[in-house]
Structure 1
């Protein structure tokens, strides 16, 4: 089922598979050809998939044990290792001991069929990825302290998880072709000027997203939780109010959005234990509100909020909105 999938597409497929089960995901490549798919749920559950995409890969007990130890150290709830190769008998014994779920091509194919997600296999097979903006993630822009065993994916445990998405726009960056309109924010000092662009068919969009944006050096939620960006960065907060144009419901996830700044696409941040963030379920009867946070370099003057092509289709409408964070 996965023979026609390029190696970099395999972890992207796994991330999409998790997203269909209401996970917020990001993909991190490592220098040794392995990948990490990190996932979070609104409930606070944290998941991690260690991926070896090679067809000729054989994963043994020691690598599974190292991965399980890493998950223990980082407080990961759902531990998965996936490969298009095979796991040894010793690896399966180690997985049972370390509460790690193993997915080889046969097991993954069964899961895909059970979840009726075969369309994702077609989407991410050769030439796949669904025309996504995001081909992959470069190394995270801060060091990770402490030694970890070779081949184990690395995810720093910080209050704010920085996500930077590689730009793959043909013929120049979005910032070079999209006009910036308005001040881009609320209040006397809006900071970064923001405009919005949907890459889908806006004429037939099924979700209308009213939005507003502003720059903040600190975020404090209504519940009193406070967050600060990494050093030499600043937050851009986007307030969203979404509704559908049909009688059906739709789900908007953070992976559908990015903030394009000077040729780099910055992904939605995951603020641990914060409420009111994406993903949200949207219907036609009421506006559903959520906010998204992007961490960008200090001194950024302008950016473009981007919605990728896909289902549900998104149409942006700029409005002055009350923000859910201070």
Structure 2
């Protein structure tokens, strides 16, 4: 039904959807593109609304939006489309800290908030009513942000413009069966870290993940001071190493977005680092293994943290079995 919304109405539909969360929205056009400016309680953001054309939003198109955000000093940006994003666009969005909302996520939001009437109204070309909703539904979820180098200006803290809407996506996906805890690590500083092995009911693929983790105050994946990544006060890194094996017969795509960390009731995405990564997207053939590392940024006083899989693996019908391996080196 979302795909039936006329292209001319799609920006207004997106504005109405965020208006349901109590955001003040303004639809504007620049350089032939439609944007929704957001503001609430001092937080601001910009959404590029990209009506579906049959083609995935490309990395080049997303690069243009990143340039617009930089030009106008936008700290929180998102691209919303009823279609899909190319692999290059997804990679760039992760690196640039731009949220990507595709048709599947939009449908999840509509289902979660029972906003079918809103979709129908815009699909019928009647979407000119006010849609502000001060009682917006909100759940806690962290949005990954690029970690600045020491000589960079950090991104604006606390302006999590897209939390309320995007949290619905994370909160309403049907949870897989939890098979048990795949081991425990007691880190320096008192974190109790575990990993949840899971299996969707329709699992057709399988991953076996050996993992280990440690708490660190800074990262130095490259030699020299220019490669040191530091955090603000009250935060620490959890550095995770994994050896991932495709235990099935069919090839499986593997991306860092397939894993997350739950701590203090918040779901944290992995922390992208500028100009370096320990987890390149790849395809594993049956029986093939790869070793990766990545980091999460969480509260220093958090008592517990659990590594979990995200909807990406569930949508691919992948069973994931974690097992802690204390012999696995935890280094960048």
Counterparts in 2 of 1:83 and 1:269: CA distance versus 1, 3 Å? closer
Compute the RMSD of aligned alpha carbons.
5.3
SS at match of 1:71: helix
Q: Which residue number in structure 2 is paired with residue 43 of structure 1? A: none
Cα distance between partner residues in 2 of 1:285 and 1:130: 38
Normalising by structure 2, report the TM-score.
Answer: 0.51
Cα distance between partner residues in 2 of 1:126 and 1:34: 24
Determine whether 1:249 maps to 2:251.
yes
Q: Which runs of 5+ in 2 are unaligned?
A: 19-36, 53-63, 87-100, 113-137, 146-153, 173-177
Q: Which residue number in structure 2 is paired with residue 289 of structure 1? A: 291
Determine whether 1:51 maps to 2:48.
yes
Cα distance between partner residues in 2 of 1:3 and 1:121: 15
Counterparts in 2 of 1:140 and 1:310: CA distance versus 1, 3 Å? closer
Counterparts in 2 of 1:245 and 1:220: CA distance versus 1, 3 Å? same
What is the aligned length? 229
Kindly state the Cα deviation for residue 239 of structure 1 after the two structures are TM-superposed: 0.8
- Asked if 2 retains the 8 angstrom alpha-carbon contact of 1:217 and 1:234, the reply is yes
Cα distance between partner residues in 2 of 1:324 and 1:130: 42
Counterparts in 2 of 1:313 and 1:35: CA distance versus 1, 3 Å? farther
Write the deviation string for residues 189-210 of structure 1: whole angstroms up to 9, x where unpaired: 3742111124542865422222
Cα distance between partner residues in 2 of 1:123 and 1:214: 35
Cα distance between partner residues in 1 of 2:305 and 2:179: 10
Determine whether 1:31 maps to 2:8.
no
Q: Which residue number in structure 1 is paired with residue 216 of structure 2? A: 216
- Asked if 2 retains the 8 angstrom alpha-carbon contact of 1:247 and 1:284, the reply is yes
SS at match of 2:39: coil
Normalising by structure 1, report the TM-score.
Answer: 0.51
- Asked if 1 retains the 8 angstrom alpha-carbon contact of 2:180 and 2:197, the reply is no
Kindly state the Cα deviation for residue 69 of structure 1 after the two structures are TM-superposed: 4.9
Cα distance between partner residues in 1 of 2:110 and 2:223: 38
SS at match of 1:2: helix
Determine whether 1:206 maps to 2:206.
yes
Counterparts in 2 of 1:216 and 1:125: CA distance versus 1, 3 Å? closer
The aligned runs of 1:129-278 (5 Å cut-off) are 156=155, 166=167, 169=171, 183-185=184-186, 189=188, 191-201=190-200, 204-221=204-221, 225-278=227-280
- Asked if 1 retains the 8 angstrom alpha-carbon contact of 2:215 and 2:239, the reply is yes
Counterparts in 2 of 1:81 and 1:290: CA distance versus 1, 3 Å? closer
- Asked if 2 retains the 8 angstrom alpha-carbon contact of 1:183 and 1:190, the reply is no
Counterparts in 2 of 1:306 and 1:183: CA distance versus 1, 3 Å? closer
Kindly state the Cα deviation for residue 281 of structure 1 after the two structures are TM-superposed: 3.2
- Asked if 1 retains the 8 angstrom alpha-carbon contact of 2:211 and 2:243, the reply is yes
Write the deviation string for residues 75-130 of structure 1: whole angstroms up to 9, x where unpaired: xxxxx99677xxxxxxxxxxxxxxxxxxxx7xx69x99xxxxxxx97744534699
Q: Which runs of 5+ in 1 are unaligned?
A: 12-28, 37-49, 56-64, 75-79, 85-104, 113-119, 142-154, 171-176
- Asked if 2 retains the 8 angstrom alpha-carbon contact of 1:278 and 1:291, the reply is no
Kindly state the Cα deviation for residue 241 of structure 1 after the two structures are TM-superposed: 0.8
Cα distance between partner residues in 2 of 1:179 and 1:30: 41
Kindly state the Cα deviation for residue 66 of structure 1 after the two structures are TM-superposed: 10
